Amino acid sequence: MRRIVTCGTVLLLALTAANADAQSLKLDRPLTARAALLTGRSPIIIRPLHPLVDLLVRSVGGTLGGALPSVNGRVANVPNAALAVLAASGLVQRLAYDRPTVASNERTGVTVGATAVREAYGYDGSGVGVAVIDSGVAATHDDLTDPSLSLRVVKFVDFVNGVTVPYDDYGHGTHVAGIVAGNGLDSSGARSGIAPRARLVVLKALNSSGTGRISDVIAALDYVVNHKTQFNIRVVNLSVAAGVYESYNSDLLAQATRQAVERGIVVVAAAGNVGRNSAGQAQYGGITAPGNAPWVLTVGGSSHMGTTDRADDVMARFSSRGPTRFDYAAKPDLVAPGVGIESLSAPGSTLYSKYSAYLLGGTIATSYPPYLSLSGTSMAAPVVAGTVALMLQANPSLTPNAVKAILQYTAQIYQAYDPLTEGAGFLNAAGAVQLARFFSVGGEDPTDATWGRQIIWGNHRVSGGLLTPDVNAWALTMRWGSGTAAGGPVVWGTVWNAADNEWTTWSTSCSDIACTSASWSGESPNVVWGARCGGADCAWTTWSATDDQTVVWGTDDSQTVVWGTNDDETVVWGTGDDETVVWGTGCGQDCEPVIWNR
């Protein structure tokens, strides 16, 4: 008896067979490994070339999820055995693993200068929308109300369970929201956030265990872009981490963040918490996604050591170092306090129970301890996100590139650390807001001797000049780290020319800051690793424009790298479908909660 098939089936089979050689080019690294499995299923993001791809997914036993417009993708769940069939189809452009994501203050505000700048200028984040993509929010917390007791969470969207009423079953998002914009009501103002009157748009992408999928984060970013005007969203905080399996040029999560940045939204992301290996040794190369993208403002973690004196600040041992995997780019961009950060608790949540010993009372009577102390770059990122809200209140015209440059230029350099550890330096919120305001209103140049007065543009350290507002480096069309602008030099500002006794252009063509056009090819960076940067120190003095980037990480025990030096680059997240990631919110042995002595 003859078999009868539909015309659609014939077309699907023909297109599949005709493109079998393209399979290896369409699967990302994790899916390439999973395609060899005969059992199990994989959550994926599929980029179609034709609408019939939906039919193809169903024909191989897959189920379809939501659309992801910013990356021209669609969520699906398919048998591992069907991955090769999908990859060979001419209906499919690309398949990516829907990778897991995890959730990666009274002294803090004073230490970074946010409290001083609020008092000096009255900036508090009013009118600025900050999107927090995390595990949700306990919106009824006292510290998230305004004086009239109306809720300050202006929008809540749940991409995990579809619940419409704000909640936080993990507790991480509430803690992050409080760092950004808590008003300190339960502590008489002592534990207020950095921008206590910013408007919060909370987008839940992590579940009760603090894990999720990049597709939900991408969907949340799509929401931010589509509702930017409605809520005046100018900042996104991503205290989440996903593994890095490819260049940011093709990674879908990185590309989704780029869509937001190109629309004038500053995307702040945690660097990750893998600055040490299992033996407690420092390791480089641990920046997580989407912090590996150049257009993202990537934040590492420091410690204020329980004081408000900046002199004793140190790097947090857990904070991930650069360079980024695959692209070998300089990261983080800067660091901010991330150890023992006291912010809001969420009663009934996972972290509320898990870290009950680190719950803290306030100064007024409450039915539960309203504060919790946590550590991690997840806590450092919202310190910067709140600072950005203050900067944008002072100067709404700032672009994401201008914001990053100002933050780096005003940061304080600590000579004990290299730029792959501290980036451009330790956050100076007061200086950043002052310079942002200067960009808007002019007046006397606020430059201070404590400022690092440098930016790390791609893999190049540039210093010696003054930032100015009207230059091509800050354009929305300019990718951070680019070597040219429309065929010409990238201009950041002005530099003093002593020979001619005048200010001249500070750009990629200058000759007095080690950024000559001859060395600007990108092949000889003067910031990152260099052939002579070995051992644990990576001293700044060993790096120059003549160094190359052929270092084999892991050549001694003091400088191991997260992804290994052999062919074993696949990370084992767990067993079966239990996608438990290595770093988690507990940050291993180096990132437990802290309560500073009082």
What does the alpha-carbon distance between residue 304 and residue 314 come to, in Å, rounded to a whole number? 7
Q: Which residue is associated with the tokens 């659309």?
A: 67
Helices 377-394 and 400-410 cross at an angle (nearest 10°) of 110
Q: Where do runs of H (alpha helix) occur along 209-284? A: 214-226, 228-231, 252-261
Which positions are annotated as active-site residues? 134, 172, 378
Do residues 459 and 327 lie in contact, with contact meaning Cβ atoms separated by under 8 Å? no
Q: Give the E-state strand segments of 100-230 in sequence order.
A: 100-103, 129-134, 153-158, 199-204, 211-213
- What is residue 382's three-state secondary structure? helix
Q: Which residues of 11-46 are buried (b: 16+ CB within 10 A; e: fewer)?
A: bbeebbeebeeebeebbbbbbbebbeeeeebbbbbb
Single-letter amino acid code for the residue at 119: E
Query: Who contacts 268 (Cβ-Cβ below 8 Å, separation ≥6)?
Result: 235, 236, 237, 238, 296, 297, 299, 381, 382, 384, 385, 388
Query: Which residues have CB under 8 Å from 451's CB, separation 6+?
Result: 409, 410, 411, 412, 428, 431
SS3 sequence of 436-476 = HHHHHHCCCCCCCCCCCCEEEECCEEEECEEECCCCHHHCC
